[in-house]
Structure 1
Amino acid sequence: MDTHRDAHVAAVLSLVGEVIGTQEFPASAAGYRNLLGWARASGTVRRAGVEGTGSFGAALSR
């Protein structure tokens, strides 16, 4: 995830690193729930990486 003040951009990758999809979500509790649902729709979420966990990505990381 690439985190920003108002929105976060997520990408889903295949096991070999191919980009399956990208999507932007609001930086809010509802946006985080939608992001997780979107990621799970592509399969089992094995790992998640968040850029900027000390600032705009702190709430998402929690």
Structure 2
Amino acid sequence: MLDTYGVGPDTAATLLIAAGDNPERLRSEASFAPLCGVSPVEASSGRTQRHRLNRGGDRQANSALRSIVLVRLRWDRRTRDYIDRRASARARPNAKLSGASNAT
């Protein structure tokens, strides 16, 4: 875990303690998200489909994950490039729609 960029000894220890304190809750990789309070929870009403972050979970593990994310967003070139690619893909119009508007 320490070989991963942005993960130091303190954050690794915090995440391992959170996992070790709750082994019955860790049935898969996806079950770690609710344990740390970073899983989406449906907050829909009527026809509106929305999600919010889970407010439960281990606050110290949530803080450790947040610090890893902030370090990677600030200093890791691969993470920043990934975010930039996703943002440009969202800004780019749909190819089908742009082709149809040019035909008319």
Larger radius of gyration: 2
Do both share a fold (TM > 0.5)?
Answer: no
More strand by share: 1
TM score, norm. by length of structure 2 = 0.18
TM-score for both structures, normalised by structure 1: 0.28
Q: Which of the pair has the greater relative contact order for Cα pairs under 8 Å at 6+ separation?
A: 1
